[in-house]
Amino acid sequence: MLANQTSRRSAHLQVLRRDVWTVVMLALAPAVGLGIARFAYALVLPDMRADLGWSYAEAGWMNTSNAAGYLLGALLCTRAIAMAGAFRVMVIGVWACIFALVLCALAQQSVTLNAARGFAGVGGGLAFVSGGVLAAHIAQRNPEHGALYLGLFYAGPGLGIFLSGITVPTVLALFGAGSWRIAWVALAGLSLVFSVSVMRSKVAEISTPESEKDRVDHQPFALKMLPLLGGYLLFGAGYIAYMTFMIAWVRDGGGGAGFQAAFWAAIGAAAMASPWIWARLLKRLQHGHAFVALIGFTALGAALPLASGGSNALFLSAVIFGAAFFAVVASTTVFVRRNLPAGRWAPAIGALTVAFGIGQMLGPVATGIITDYSGGLSGGLLASVLMLIAACISGLFQRDLGAGASGATRD
Protein backbone atom coordinates (compact mmCIF):
# COMPACT_ATOMS: atom_id res chain seq x y z
CA MET A 1 0.00 0.00 0.00
CA LEU A 2 2.75 2.43 0.99
CA ALA A 3 4.71 1.53 -2.14
CA ASN A 4 1.66 2.25 -4.30
CA GLN A 5 1.10 5.62 -2.62
CA THR A 6 4.76 6.52 -3.12
CA SER A 7 4.56 5.49 -6.76
CA ARG A 8 1.42 7.57 -7.34
CA ARG A 9 2.98 10.57 -5.61
CA SER A 10 6.10 10.23 -7.73
CA ALA A 11 4.02 10.00 -10.91
CA HIS A 12 2.00 13.06 -9.85
CA LEU A 13 5.18 15.09 -9.24
CA GLN A 14 6.54 14.01 -12.61
CA VAL A 15 3.37 15.19 -14.38
CA LEU A 16 3.47 18.44 -12.40
CA ARG A 17 7.08 19.12 -13.38
CA ARG A 18 6.34 18.30 -17.02
CA ASP A 19 3.35 20.65 -17.13
CA VAL A 20 5.23 23.47 -15.40
CA TRP A 21 8.04 23.16 -17.95
CA THR A 22 5.51 23.10 -20.81
CA VAL A 23 3.86 26.30 -19.55
CA VAL A 24 7.28 27.94 -19.17
CA MET A 25 7.99 27.14 -22.82
CA LEU A 26 4.58 28.48 -23.82
CA ALA A 27 5.34 31.68 -21.90
CA LEU A 28 8.26 32.41 -24.25
CA ALA A 29 5.70 33.21 -26.99
CA PRO A 30 4.18 36.23 -25.19
CA ALA A 31 7.68 37.11 -23.98
CA VAL A 32 8.45 37.78 -27.67
CA GLY A 33 5.02 38.94 -28.86
CA LEU A 34 4.37 41.37 -26.02
CA GLY A 35 7.37 41.72 -23.71
CA ILE A 36 9.77 42.47 -26.58
CA ALA A 37 7.89 43.22 -29.82
CA ARG A 38 5.39 45.54 -28.12
CA PHE A 39 6.70 46.94 -24.86
CA ALA A 40 10.38 47.39 -25.76
CA TYR A 41 9.23 50.18 -28.08
CA ALA A 42 9.01 52.42 -25.00
CA LEU A 43 12.73 51.87 -24.42
CA VAL A 44 13.70 52.71 -28.01
CA LEU A 45 11.15 55.55 -28.35
CA PRO A 46 13.10 58.45 -26.76
CA ASP A 47 16.06 57.90 -29.09
CA MET A 48 13.78 57.41 -32.12
CA ARG A 49 11.76 60.51 -31.24
CA ALA A 50 14.88 62.67 -30.89
CA ASP A 51 16.41 61.31 -34.11
CA LEU A 52 13.23 61.45 -36.23
CA GLY A 53 11.69 64.62 -34.73
CA TRP A 54 8.37 63.07 -33.73
CA SER A 55 5.70 64.68 -31.56
CA TYR A 56 4.18 62.62 -28.73
CA ALA A 57 1.08 62.05 -30.89
CA GLU A 58 3.24 60.67 -33.72
CA ALA A 59 5.06 58.46 -31.24
CA GLY A 60 1.71 57.23 -29.93
CA TRP A 61 0.56 56.34 -33.44
CA MET A 62 3.33 53.74 -33.64
CA ASN A 63 1.83 51.83 -30.74
CA THR A 64 -1.68 52.39 -32.10
CA SER A 65 -0.51 50.67 -35.30
CA ASN A 66 0.83 47.83 -33.15
CA ALA A 67 -2.47 47.59 -31.31
CA ALA A 68 -4.42 47.57 -34.59
CA GLY A 69 -2.29 44.66 -35.76
CA TYR A 70 -2.83 42.92 -32.43
CA LEU A 71 -6.58 43.34 -32.88
CA LEU A 72 -6.39 41.83 -36.36
CA GLY A 73 -4.33 38.91 -35.05
CA ALA A 74 -6.88 38.27 -32.31
CA LEU A 75 -9.75 38.36 -34.82
CA LEU A 76 -7.99 35.85 -37.09
CA CYS A 77 -6.74 33.59 -34.33
CA THR A 78 -9.80 31.43 -33.61
CA ARG A 79 -10.20 30.47 -37.27
CA ALA A 80 -6.46 29.99 -37.66
CA ILE A 81 -6.39 27.62 -34.66
CA ALA A 82 -9.25 25.61 -36.17
CA MET A 83 -7.32 25.29 -39.43
CA ALA A 84 -3.73 24.77 -38.28
CA GLY A 85 -3.78 24.03 -34.54
CA ALA A 86 -2.85 26.30 -31.66
CA PHE A 87 0.84 25.39 -31.54
CA ARG A 88 1.48 26.13 -35.22
CA VAL A 89 -0.39 29.43 -34.96
CA MET A 90 1.66 30.38 -31.92
CA VAL A 91 4.95 29.65 -33.72
CA ILE A 92 3.84 31.60 -36.80
CA GLY A 93 3.01 34.54 -34.56
CA VAL A 94 6.44 34.48 -32.90
CA TRP A 95 8.26 34.40 -36.23
CA ALA A 96 6.10 37.26 -37.52
CA CYS A 97 7.28 39.31 -34.55
CA ILE A 98 10.93 38.55 -35.30
CA PHE A 99 10.46 39.64 -38.92
CA ALA A 100 8.81 42.86 -37.74
CA LEU A 101 11.68 43.61 -35.34
CA VAL A 102 14.19 43.24 -38.19
CA LEU A 103 12.03 45.51 -40.37
CA CYS A 104 12.03 48.15 -37.60
CA ALA A 105 15.82 48.14 -37.74
CA LEU A 106 15.89 48.53 -41.54
CA ALA A 107 13.02 51.00 -42.03
CA GLN A 108 13.72 54.64 -42.86
CA GLN A 109 10.24 56.16 -43.15
CA SER A 110 7.39 56.51 -40.66
CA VAL A 111 5.02 54.64 -43.01
CA THR A 112 7.31 51.60 -43.07
CA LEU A 113 7.86 51.77 -39.32
CA ASN A 114 4.09 51.90 -38.74
CA ALA A 115 3.66 48.87 -41.00
CA ALA A 116 6.38 47.00 -39.08
CA ARG A 117 4.74 47.86 -35.76
CA GLY A 118 1.40 46.68 -37.14
CA PHE A 119 2.89 43.39 -38.34
CA ALA A 120 4.45 42.87 -34.89
CA GLY A 121 0.98 43.37 -33.45
CA VAL A 122 -0.53 40.69 -35.72
CA GLY A 123 2.18 38.24 -34.65
CA GLY A 124 1.74 39.15 -31.01
CA GLY A 125 -2.03 38.63 -31.18
CA LEU A 126 -1.65 35.21 -32.80
CA ALA A 127 1.04 34.11 -30.33
CA PHE A 128 -0.77 35.40 -27.26
CA VAL A 129 -4.25 34.06 -27.93
CA SER A 130 -3.13 30.65 -29.21
CA GLY A 131 -0.62 30.27 -26.38
CA GLY A 132 -3.33 31.24 -23.90
CA VAL A 133 -5.64 28.54 -25.27
CA LEU A 134 -2.89 25.91 -24.85
CA ALA A 135 -2.14 27.11 -21.31
CA ALA A 136 -5.85 27.01 -20.45
CA HIS A 137 -6.04 23.35 -21.51
CA ILE A 138 -3.08 22.48 -19.28
CA ALA A 139 -4.79 24.31 -16.43
CA GLN A 140 -8.03 22.41 -17.10
CA ARG A 141 -6.40 19.00 -16.71
CA ASN A 142 -4.68 20.18 -13.51
CA PRO A 143 -7.45 22.21 -11.79
CA GLU A 144 -5.66 22.21 -8.43
CA HIS A 145 -2.79 24.21 -9.93
CA GLY A 146 -4.76 25.87 -12.75
CA ALA A 147 -4.40 29.45 -11.54
CA LEU A 148 -0.65 29.00 -11.07
CA TYR A 149 -0.22 27.62 -14.60
CA LEU A 150 -2.14 30.52 -16.13
CA GLY A 151 -0.17 32.95 -13.99
CA LEU A 152 3.08 31.43 -15.23
CA PHE A 153 2.00 31.84 -18.84
CA TYR A 154 0.97 35.46 -18.36
CA ALA A 155 4.24 36.17 -16.57
CA GLY A 156 6.02 35.43 -19.86
CA PRO A 157 5.91 39.06 -21.04
CA GLY A 158 7.65 39.98 -17.80
CA LEU A 159 10.69 37.99 -18.92
CA GLY A 160 10.71 39.86 -22.23
CA ILE A 161 10.35 43.19 -20.42
CA PHE A 162 13.13 42.31 -17.98
CA LEU A 163 15.64 41.25 -20.64
CA SER A 164 14.82 44.09 -23.04
CA GLY A 165 15.12 46.50 -20.11
CA ILE A 166 18.72 45.38 -19.69
CA THR A 167 19.50 45.10 -23.41
CA VAL A 168 18.18 48.32 -24.96
CA PRO A 169 19.58 50.94 -22.54
CA THR A 170 22.95 49.16 -22.66
CA VAL A 171 22.99 49.22 -26.46
CA LEU A 172 21.96 52.89 -26.59
CA ALA A 173 24.59 53.83 -24.01
CA LEU A 174 27.33 51.94 -25.89
CA PHE A 175 26.55 53.22 -29.38
CA GLY A 176 25.24 56.68 -28.52
CA ALA A 177 22.45 58.86 -29.88
CA GLY A 178 20.74 57.63 -33.03
CA SER A 179 21.59 53.95 -32.41
CA TRP A 180 17.97 52.83 -32.11
CA ARG A 181 18.33 50.59 -35.19
CA ILE A 182 21.05 48.59 -33.43
CA ALA A 183 18.70 48.20 -30.46
CA TRP A 184 16.01 46.69 -32.72
CA VAL A 185 18.59 44.22 -34.10
CA ALA A 186 19.54 43.20 -30.55
CA LEU A 187 15.86 42.64 -29.71
CA ALA A 188 15.41 40.51 -32.84
CA GLY A 189 18.37 38.36 -31.79
CA LEU A 190 16.94 37.89 -28.30
CA SER A 191 13.56 36.90 -29.79
CA LEU A 192 15.24 34.42 -32.11
CA VAL A 193 16.71 32.56 -29.12
CA PHE A 194 13.25 32.34 -27.54
CA SER A 195 11.68 31.13 -30.78
CA VAL A 196 14.18 28.32 -31.22
CA SER A 197 13.62 27.27 -27.59
CA VAL A 198 9.85 27.00 -28.16
CA MET A 199 10.27 24.98 -31.35
CA ARG A 200 12.73 22.57 -29.72
CA SER A 201 10.39 21.93 -26.80
CA LYS A 202 7.56 19.38 -26.64
CA VAL A 203 4.81 21.99 -26.48
CA ALA A 204 3.36 20.66 -29.75
CA GLU A 205 2.36 17.48 -27.93
CA ILE A 206 -0.44 19.31 -26.10
CA SER A 207 -3.76 18.02 -27.37
CA THR A 208 -7.38 18.74 -26.57
CA PRO A 209 -9.47 15.70 -25.65
CA GLU A 210 -12.16 14.98 -28.19
CA SER A 211 -14.82 15.16 -25.50
CA GLU A 212 -13.72 18.72 -24.73
CA LYS A 213 -13.64 19.70 -28.40
CA ASP A 214 -17.21 18.52 -28.79
CA ARG A 215 -18.51 20.39 -25.74
CA VAL A 216 -19.42 23.62 -27.49
CA ASP A 217 -21.87 25.94 -25.77
CA HIS A 218 -23.86 27.64 -28.52
CA GLN A 219 -25.52 30.12 -26.18
CA PRO A 220 -24.20 33.68 -26.63
CA PHE A 221 -21.75 34.64 -23.92
CA ALA A 222 -20.61 38.10 -25.05
CA LEU A 223 -23.70 39.90 -23.71
CA LYS A 224 -23.22 38.28 -20.31
CA MET A 225 -19.60 39.44 -20.30
CA LEU A 226 -20.22 43.08 -21.26
CA PRO A 227 -18.92 44.55 -17.96
CA LEU A 228 -15.73 42.50 -18.27
CA LEU A 229 -15.35 43.36 -21.97
CA GLY A 230 -15.90 47.06 -21.30
CA GLY A 231 -13.54 47.06 -18.36
CA TYR A 232 -10.91 45.20 -20.38
CA LEU A 233 -11.15 47.78 -23.16
CA LEU A 234 -10.59 50.61 -20.66
CA PHE A 235 -7.75 48.68 -19.03
CA GLY A 236 -6.09 48.23 -22.44
CA ALA A 237 -6.28 51.97 -23.08
CA GLY A 238 -5.03 52.88 -19.61
CA TYR A 239 -2.14 50.51 -19.04
CA ILE A 240 -0.61 50.88 -22.52
CA ALA A 241 -0.21 54.63 -22.03
CA TYR A 242 1.98 53.99 -18.98
CA MET A 243 4.00 51.35 -20.82
CA THR A 244 4.45 53.62 -23.86
CA PHE A 245 5.59 56.84 -22.20
CA MET A 246 7.08 56.02 -18.78
CA ILE A 247 10.64 55.68 -20.07
CA ALA A 248 10.24 59.13 -21.64
CA TRP A 249 9.03 60.33 -18.21
CA VAL A 250 12.08 58.80 -16.51
CA ARG A 251 14.44 60.20 -19.14
CA ASP A 252 12.88 63.69 -18.99
CA GLY A 253 13.33 63.57 -15.22
CA GLY A 254 17.07 63.08 -15.62
CA GLY A 255 17.26 59.29 -15.42
CA GLY A 256 20.25 57.95 -17.33
CA ALA A 257 20.67 54.63 -19.12
CA GLY A 258 21.36 52.74 -15.89
CA PHE A 259 18.28 54.10 -14.14
CA GLN A 260 16.10 53.43 -17.19
CA ALA A 261 17.36 49.84 -17.33
CA ALA A 262 16.74 49.34 -13.62
CA PHE A 263 13.24 50.84 -13.83
CA TRP A 264 12.19 48.67 -16.79
CA ALA A 265 13.80 45.57 -15.34
CA ALA A 266 11.87 46.17 -12.10
CA ILE A 267 8.60 46.08 -14.07
CA GLY A 268 9.67 42.82 -15.73
CA ALA A 269 10.90 41.17 -12.54
CA ALA A 270 7.67 42.06 -10.72
CA ALA A 271 5.63 40.67 -13.64
CA MET A 272 7.57 37.40 -13.46
CA ALA A 273 6.84 37.18 -9.72
CA SER A 274 3.12 37.82 -10.18
CA PRO A 275 2.02 34.13 -10.41
CA TRP A 276 3.18 33.52 -6.84
CA ILE A 277 1.78 36.82 -5.59
CA TRP A 278 -1.72 36.46 -7.01
CA ALA A 279 -2.34 32.69 -7.47
CA ARG A 280 -4.48 32.39 -4.34
CA LEU A 281 -6.48 35.53 -5.19
CA LEU A 282 -7.15 34.27 -8.73
CA LYS A 283 -8.25 30.89 -7.40
CA ARG A 284 -10.55 32.13 -4.65
CA LEU A 285 -12.29 35.27 -5.90
CA GLN A 286 -15.44 34.88 -7.95
CA HIS A 287 -17.28 37.09 -10.46
CA GLY A 288 -15.16 40.05 -11.63
CA HIS A 289 -13.62 40.63 -8.21
CA ALA A 290 -10.07 39.49 -9.06
CA PHE A 291 -10.18 41.61 -12.22
CA VAL A 292 -11.21 44.68 -10.20
CA ALA A 293 -8.65 44.17 -7.42
CA LEU A 294 -5.76 43.72 -9.86
CA ILE A 295 -6.67 46.77 -11.94
CA GLY A 296 -6.87 48.71 -8.68
CA PHE A 297 -3.26 47.81 -7.92
CA THR A 298 -2.29 48.68 -11.51
CA ALA A 299 -3.90 52.11 -11.15
CA LEU A 300 -2.07 52.67 -7.87
CA GLY A 301 1.25 51.89 -9.53
CA ALA A 302 0.47 54.24 -12.43
CA ALA A 303 -0.55 57.06 -10.09
CA LEU A 304 2.56 57.05 -7.90
CA PRO A 305 4.78 59.08 -10.30
CA LEU A 306 2.14 61.83 -10.23
CA ALA A 307 2.42 62.00 -6.44
CA SER A 308 6.22 62.03 -6.32
CA GLY A 309 8.96 62.22 -8.91
CA GLY A 310 11.64 60.76 -6.66
CA SER A 311 13.55 57.61 -7.56
CA ASN A 312 12.03 55.62 -4.69
CA ALA A 313 8.50 56.45 -5.86
CA LEU A 314 9.38 55.51 -9.43
CA PHE A 315 10.76 52.12 -8.40
CA LEU A 316 7.74 51.46 -6.19
CA SER A 317 5.53 52.41 -9.14
CA ALA A 318 7.41 49.95 -11.38
CA VAL A 319 7.10 47.11 -8.86
CA ILE A 320 3.39 47.60 -8.11
CA PHE A 321 2.43 48.16 -11.74
CA GLY A 322 4.59 45.27 -12.97
CA ALA A 323 3.26 42.84 -10.37
CA ALA A 324 -0.38 43.57 -11.24
CA PHE A 325 -0.87 44.49 -14.88
CA PHE A 326 -0.37 41.06 -16.50
CA ALA A 327 -2.17 39.34 -13.65
CA VAL A 328 -5.22 41.31 -14.91
CA VAL A 329 -4.89 39.41 -18.19
CA ALA A 330 -4.63 36.12 -16.27
CA SER A 331 -7.80 36.98 -14.35
CA THR A 332 -9.80 37.20 -17.59
CA THR A 333 -8.64 33.73 -18.68
CA VAL A 334 -9.41 32.33 -15.23
CA PHE A 335 -12.91 33.82 -15.58
CA VAL A 336 -13.40 32.18 -19.00
CA ARG A 337 -12.09 28.81 -17.81
CA ARG A 338 -14.39 28.90 -14.78
CA ASN A 339 -17.53 29.92 -16.65
CA LEU A 340 -17.40 28.32 -20.10
CA PRO A 341 -16.85 24.83 -21.54
CA ALA A 342 -13.51 24.17 -23.25
CA GLY A 343 -15.08 24.43 -26.70
CA ARG A 344 -15.82 28.12 -26.07
CA TRP A 345 -12.43 29.14 -24.67
CA ALA A 346 -10.86 30.20 -27.97
CA PRO A 347 -13.75 32.49 -29.06
CA ALA A 348 -14.17 33.88 -25.53
CA ILE A 349 -10.45 34.63 -25.12
CA GLY A 350 -10.53 36.02 -28.66
CA ALA A 351 -13.47 38.35 -27.81
CA LEU A 352 -11.69 39.62 -24.72
CA THR A 353 -8.50 40.13 -26.72
CA VAL A 354 -10.44 42.14 -29.31
CA ALA A 355 -11.79 44.44 -26.57
CA PHE A 356 -8.29 44.70 -25.13
CA GLY A 357 -6.88 45.45 -28.60
CA ILE A 358 -9.39 48.25 -29.24
CA GLY A 359 -8.39 49.85 -25.95
CA GLN A 360 -4.72 49.57 -26.83
CA MET A 361 -5.42 51.24 -30.20
CA LEU A 362 -7.09 54.21 -28.56
CA GLY A 363 -4.79 54.61 -25.54
CA PRO A 364 -1.38 55.61 -26.99
CA VAL A 365 -2.58 58.16 -29.54
CA ALA A 366 -5.17 59.67 -27.18
CA THR A 367 -2.58 59.98 -24.43
CA GLY A 368 -0.07 61.42 -26.91
CA ILE A 369 -2.56 64.08 -28.01
CA ILE A 370 -3.36 64.95 -24.38
CA THR A 371 0.37 65.14 -23.63
CA ASP A 372 1.03 67.46 -26.59
CA TYR A 373 -1.97 69.63 -25.68
CA SER A 374 -1.13 69.86 -21.96
CA GLY A 375 2.57 70.45 -22.61
CA GLY A 376 3.80 67.61 -20.38
CA LEU A 377 3.61 63.89 -19.76
CA SER A 378 1.72 64.34 -16.47
CA GLY A 379 -1.53 65.08 -18.35
CA GLY A 380 -1.27 61.86 -20.32
CA LEU A 381 -0.38 59.82 -17.25
CA LEU A 382 -3.36 61.25 -15.36
CA ALA A 383 -5.63 60.22 -18.24
CA SER A 384 -4.14 56.71 -17.99
CA VAL A 385 -4.96 56.51 -14.28
CA LEU A 386 -8.52 57.73 -14.85
CA MET A 387 -9.10 55.08 -17.52
CA LEU A 388 -7.86 52.38 -15.14
CA ILE A 389 -10.25 53.61 -12.44
CA ALA A 390 -13.11 53.48 -14.96
CA ALA A 391 -12.10 49.88 -15.80
CA CYS A 392 -12.39 49.00 -12.09
CA ILE A 393 -15.90 50.43 -11.94
CA SER A 394 -16.99 48.45 -15.00
CA GLY A 395 -15.57 45.21 -13.62
CA LEU A 396 -17.58 45.58 -10.41
CA PHE A 397 -20.74 44.77 -12.39
CA GLN A 398 -19.43 41.47 -13.81
CA ARG A 399 -20.99 38.35 -12.31
CA ASP A 400 -20.16 34.72 -12.98
CA LEU A 401 -22.21 33.51 -15.94
CA GLY A 402 -23.84 30.64 -14.07
CA ALA A 403 -24.62 32.93 -11.14
CA GLY A 404 -26.15 35.50 -13.48
CA ALA A 405 -28.39 32.86 -15.05
CA SER A 406 -29.66 31.43 -11.83
CA GLY A 407 -29.76 34.53 -9.71
CA ALA A 408 -27.54 32.86 -7.12
CA THR A 409 -24.14 33.93 -5.93
CA ARG A 410 -21.02 31.87 -5.41
CA ASP A 411 -19.10 34.06 -3.00
- pLDDT averaged over every residue in the chain: 85
83 inside domain: yes
174 inside domain: yes
Range in 45-54, 291-300, 343-352 the model is least confident about: 343-352
CATH of the domain at 353: 1.20.1250.20
Please state, in angstroms and as integers, the Cα–Cα distance from residue 57 to each residue in 64, 244, 364, 371, following that order. Answer: 10, 11, 8, 8
* Per-residue model confidence as pLDDT tens digits over 198-247: 887 767 656 544 434 444 444 566 778 999 999 999 999 999 888 888 88
Picking from 164, 167, 158, 159, the residue whose alpha carbon sits closest to that of residue 197 is: 159
Distance, in Å, from the CA atom of 32 to the CA atom of 48, rounded to the nearest integer, reads 21
Domain span including residue 334: 23-202+222-406
10 inside domain: no
Distance, in Å, from the CA atom of 408 to the CA atom of 401, rounded to the nearest integer, reads 10
Distance, in Å, from the CA atom of 322 to the CA atom of 324, rounded to the nearest integer, reads 6
207 inside domain: no
| Angle, helices 86-106/180-200, rounded to nearest 10 degrees | 160
9 inside domain: no
pLDDT band of 408, cuts 50, 70, 90 = very low
Distance, in Å, from the CA atom of 234 to the CA atom of 390, rounded to the nearest integer, reads 7
* Phi/psi of residue 103, nearest 5 degrees: -65, -35
| Intra-chain end-to-end CA distance of the chain, in Å | 39
Distance, in Å, from the CA atom of 182 to the CA atom of 163, rounded to the nearest integer, reads 16
Which region, left, alpha or beta, applies to residue 54 given φ > 0 means left and ψ of -120 to 50 means alpha? beta
Residues in the chain: 411
* Per-residue model confidence as pLDDT tens digits over 163-173: 999 999 999 99
* Structural domains in the chain (count): 1
Cβ atoms within 10 Å of 276's Cβ, excluding its own = 12
240 inside domain: yes
Look at residue 90 and tell me whether its pLDDT is greater than 90: yes
Q: Which DSSP category does 144 fall into?
A: G
119 inside domain: yes
338 inside domain: yes
Are 58 and 152 in contact by the 8 Å Cβ rule? The answer is no
Look at residue 127 and tell me whether its pLDDT is greater than 90: yes
Cα 6 off chain centre by: 40
SS3 category, 249 = helix
